[in-house]
Structure 1
């Protein structure tokens, strides 16, 4: 599996209320998207990125990190073959991302995501 981006998913009670700390204070001024329940902010200078999440819109649990991969289907098959617990099945979400959630042996839930071609 080739990973090309990993970012923290920070649980916040209200994305709009948290926004100014991350944008004004930390300088993550590029808003890549805001779906209301999740928003991504990036530094235009360094590429540092964070996602603010109030609660996942379609998964039964929240993830701690998002891992962007080139081939999400292969990553899903590999996770299954290794016997890892899938906590949200491979799904193409209404907002366009193709993803699944897997629980690492330490209990951390990861959002493994890709974009369909």
Structure 2
């Protein structure tokens, strides 16, 4: 399988507090911001704080997820199914425009496989 990009995805209990920690206390540079989220540079990787989904764990820590970008999500899903991998959440287009599918590793870590459509803001050059 070819992975094009990856990042650690965190859904903190207090999004604003966590943004301040990563930005101000740790001094990480912001790679990009979007409505409800902030992505930080972390060496050769990225750390994304998502402001949505934190309430699902009643104030407790939300488990980390691994975000894995692939070229063709639907082919990846078929390949994984052919290998006997259980798909926790079938591939589909999300309201934010990405195509996503979820798989859980043996320890319960969520692997989010993502395909970025050509018209998505992640594909646009934001430079002047």
TM-score (norm 1): 0.76
Quote the residue 1:32 is aligned against: 32
- Give distance in 2, aligned partners of 1:6 and 1:103: 16
Change (3 A) 1:27 1:74: farther
Change (3 A) 1:4 1:11: same
Q: Does 1:51 align with 2:48?
A: yes
- Give distance in 2, aligned partners of 1:75 and 1:20: 36
Change (3 A) 1:47 1:23: farther
Change (3 A) 1:31 1:14: farther
Q: Where does the alignment leave 5 or more consecutive residues of structure 2 unmatched? A: 55-61, 119-128
Superposed displacement of residue 28, structure 1: 2.7
Quote the residue 1:3 is aligned against: 3
TM-score (norm 2): 0.71
Q: Where does the alignment leave 5 or more consecutive residues of structure 1 unmatched? A: none
Quote the residue 1:16 is aligned against: 16
Q: Does 1:78 align with 2:79?
A: yes
- Give distance in 1, aligned partners of 2:35 and 2:78: 29
Larger Rg: 2
Superposed displacement of residue 70, structure 1: 1.7
As a proportion of its length, which structure holds more strand? 1
Confirm or deny: 8 A CA contact 2:10 2:63 kept in the other structure: no
Q: Does 1:103 align with 2:101?
A: no
Once superposed, what is the RMSD of the aligned Cα atoms? 2.5
Confirm or deny: 8 A CA contact 2:19 2:38 kept in the other structure: no
Q: Deviations over 1:41-77 (max 9, x none)?
A: 223x945411123527xxxx96621111122122111
SS of 2:103's equivalent in the other structure is: strand
